[in-house]
Amino acid sequence: MSLIAEIEAERDTLVEIRHDIHAHPEIAFEEQRTSDLVARRLADWGIEVHRGLGQTGLVGVLHGSRGAGKRAIGLRADMDALPMPEHNRFAWASKHPGRMHGCGHDGHTTMLLGAAQYLARHRDFEGTVNLIFQPAEEGGNAGARAMMEDGLFDRFPCDEVYGIHNMPGAPVGSFGFRTGAMMASSNRFDIIVRGVGGHAAQPHHTVDPIVIAAEMVGVLQTLISRHKSPIETAVLSVTQIHAGDAYNVIPAEAVIRGTVRTFSEKVLDEMEANLRRVAETLPAVHGGSGELNFYRAYPPLVNHAAQTEFAAKVAEQAFGAARVRREIDPVGGAEDFSFFLQKVPGTYIFLGNGDGEHHSAPYHGMGPCQLHNPNYDFNDALLPVGSTYWVRLVEAFFAR
Ligand SMILES: [Zn+2]
Ligand SMILES: [Zn+2]
């Protein structure tokens, strides 16, 4: 391990900050205390702070001692927690009922703070580092997009932008890189099937939307197996069917809901068009009608090749090639850093959180240390690792 000694020396402070944020989790666009904490720390270290981007989001601007220059790098951490209870009982467990840092964004925020503190003391470069602390990554709230709508990249132009997410199950402090599509787009759909309601004993006087809906669920599976190229990846899951209230009434309407995940915009466009065709034409075969509402939440996260190569080399040099995996498998989750990558080249990486070896009985719950699990906890061993990676990335960026 090749941690920067000065960051390593701040380990206890970083752990303290992380535990403080963990104990006070705030969900999408409510990250007021967290935002205050980050702003106060940045200001203490002499970093210029700009607040109110995407409501609770903020940007710390750090110019090099050789001048603001023309080049700028953006580093991003997410700050929000989840609307879920925490089952851990350690001292820093959530003090906010029904709120938990179950995805490790407390750790992401702290790793970036650790880098900010170091960089504020060592500004020996020409250029600008934009430290982006974003709200509302979870639940399709798109805090990243909200910051962009408030002028993030117009007010704080970045030539390149980078992100980190911790990854349970991957060895502690290992790095996972991938060029191209790394995370899926996430999309929701509602299909409303309209028939004609009536007496269940006289089906011939009705158009039964339940029978149509049942058939439609089967047909939707063929969008994956028959209408999409077999070498492309997509998921379509029907997760809700709602219809009817009585034993002897055929309802007038049925609603099908579900999710679609794809790793490219092209496949997403095809999936939406095919869904619309099935939703609108299949009911007509039976004398009913149908309507599709399709909501695109996050686009696929697509890492840029040059920046991925650059960042992977930085990690290899800092931590050794054995700790760096270059082409990890894509994952089916979604992440709103994808909005940044649509506008600015960069790369998003996974930092191994381990298998829960940092859990200590009896204070941790009994469940697995997986993201969004009530027994999850960010592994504090990663704090100096992530901070060191951020600093090495900045140094290499300006040395280029
Ligand atoms: Zn999450
Ligand atoms: Zn997350």
Q: How confident is the model over 257-277, as pLDDT tens digits? A: 999 999 999 999 999 999 999
What is the rounded average pLDDT of the residues 7-16?
A: 97
* Res. 37 pLDDT band, cuts 50 70 90: very high
Which three-class secondary structure state does DSSP give residue 323? helix
DSSP type of residue 360: -
Domains of the chain: 5-183+300-399 (3.40.630.10), 185-298 (3.30.70.360)
Q: How many residues does the chain have?
A: 400
User: Are residues 291 and 189 in contact, defined by beta-carbon separation less than 8 angstroms?
Assistant: no
What's the gap in Å between 217 CA and the centre of ligand 1? 29
* Res. 361 pLDDT band, cuts 50 70 90: low
What's the gap in Å between 52 CA and the centre of ligand 2? 21
Asked if pLDDT for residue 98 goes beyond 90, the answer is yes
- Helices (H) and strands (E) counted in the chain, each on its own, are 11, 16
* Res. 125 pLDDT band, cuts 50 70 90: very high
- C-alpha to C-alpha distance for 134 and 122, rounded to whole angstroms: 24
Q: Which residues surround ligand 1, an ion (CB under 5 A)?
A: 103
Residue 174's nearest CA partner among 358, 371, 316, 50 is 316
CA angle 369, 90, 354 (to 5 degrees): 25
* Res. 68 pLDDT band, cuts 50 70 90: confident
Q: What is the pLDDT of residue 1?
A: 53
The pTM of this model reads 0.92
User: Are residues 168 and 376 in contact, defined by beta-carbon separation less than 8 angstroms?
Assistant: yes
What's the gap in Å between 237 CA and the centre of ligand 1? 20
Q: Which residues pair with 59 in a beta bridge?
A: 50, 132
Q: State residue 56 phi and psi, 5-degree precision.
A: -95, 0
